């Protein structure tokens, strides 16, 4: 029986240090860990996808900021239009590259990176946090571009904005809001009761053929940045 010769190591490639800036791993965002299901299994949310995506967060400012923080950690750019600037500036200060984050009272006329940089995913999350204002941003039209509309509550004035979303993330609801959600999305009474009794860390993900109850999973560092989980 013949003996195999030992494998030869691959030849080394020598590059100047400056050339390393041009090396980019072709890895696209694979979603963020949103929380865990009742069995403890992780639940992910693909906020940034090859298709334009629209997310609505109802009654959970902490959840919206946590989603934004995790998208930025993946290398995405973030543009926030809000009446609660101080609440969102902490996300920008926590970013490894604060230049990727813009927080203001009005939306950027031309959001997004001016040029691709090494390691840049090219993803952009536009957040519209305008309290109870029904008018939100238009639907994104390019891949890896997503909008997230943050609403403090569900009312007839904002029902259309919520109904047009790819996914709606719901925190605990007062009885009248849970009743409106039941009519809007044709929920069963057990589903409505779930919305009325969610704990502060509880979330329901709702979409086309989707109803999923989960619990937020928040790292200690995120708690230090955003504070404790609460409905707001």
> What dihedral angle (degrees, nearest 10) is formed by the CA atoms of 114, 115, 121, 127?
0
- Is 153's pLDDT higher than 50? yes
- 128: Cβ contacts below 8 Å, ≥ 6 apart: 81, 82, 107, 136, 137, 147, 148, 149, 150
Q: What is the mean pLDDT of residues 62-73?
A: 93
Which pLDDT does position 125 carry in this prediction?
Answer: 94
pLDDT tens-digit readout, 178-212: 999 999 999 999 999 999 999 999 999 998 889 99
Q: Spell out the domains of the chain, with CATH numbers in brackets.
A: 29-105+123-226 (3.40.50.300)
Q: How far apart are CA 104 and CA 82, in angstroms?
A: 6
Terminal Cα-to-Cα distance of the chain (whole angstroms): 73
Which pLDDT does position 140 carry in this prediction?
Answer: 61
Element (H, E) at 62: helix 61-73
The helix/strand/coil state of 97 is: coil
Which pLDDT does position 20 carry in this prediction?
Answer: 47
CB 88 within 8 A of CB 79: no
Which pTM value belongs to this model? 0.80
Which pLDDT does position 119 carry in this prediction?
Answer: 47
pLDDT tens-digit readout, 94-151: 998 888 999 998 877 666 554 455 445 578 999 999 764 445 555 566 788 899 999 9
Which has the higher per-residue pLDDT, 225 or 9?
225
What integer best gives the mean pLDDT of the chain? Answer: 81
Which pLDDT does position 30 carry in this prediction?
Answer: 56
């Amino acid at each position: 029986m013949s003996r195999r010769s030992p494998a030869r190591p691959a030849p080394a490639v020598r590059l100047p240090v400056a050339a390393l800036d041009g090396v980019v791993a072709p890895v696209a965002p694979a979603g963020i860990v949103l929380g865990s299901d009742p069995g403890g299994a992780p639940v992910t949310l693909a906020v940034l996808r090859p298709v334009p995506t629209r997310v609505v967060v109802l009654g959970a400012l902490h959840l919206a900021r946590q989603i934004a923080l995790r998208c930025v950690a993946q290398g995405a750019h973030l543009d926030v239009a809000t009446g609660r600037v101080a609440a969102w500036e902490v996300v920008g200060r926590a970013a490894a590259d604060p230049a990727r984050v813009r927080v203001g009272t009005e939306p950027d006329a031309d959001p997004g990176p001016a040029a691709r940089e090494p390691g840049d995913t090219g993803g952009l999350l536009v957040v519209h946090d305008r309290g109870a204002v029904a008018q939100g941003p238009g639907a994104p039209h390019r891949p890896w571009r997503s909008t997230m509309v943050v609403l403090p509550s569900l009312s007839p004035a904002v029902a259309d904005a919520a109904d047009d979303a790819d996914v709606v993330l719901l925190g605990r609801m007062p009885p009248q809001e849970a009743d409106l959600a039941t009519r809007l999305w044709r929920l069963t009474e057990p589903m409505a009761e779930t919305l009325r009794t969610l704990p502060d860390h509880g979330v329901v993900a709702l979409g086309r053929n989707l109803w999923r109850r989960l619990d937020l999973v928040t790292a200690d560092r995120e708690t230090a940045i955003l504070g404790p989980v609460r409905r707001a």
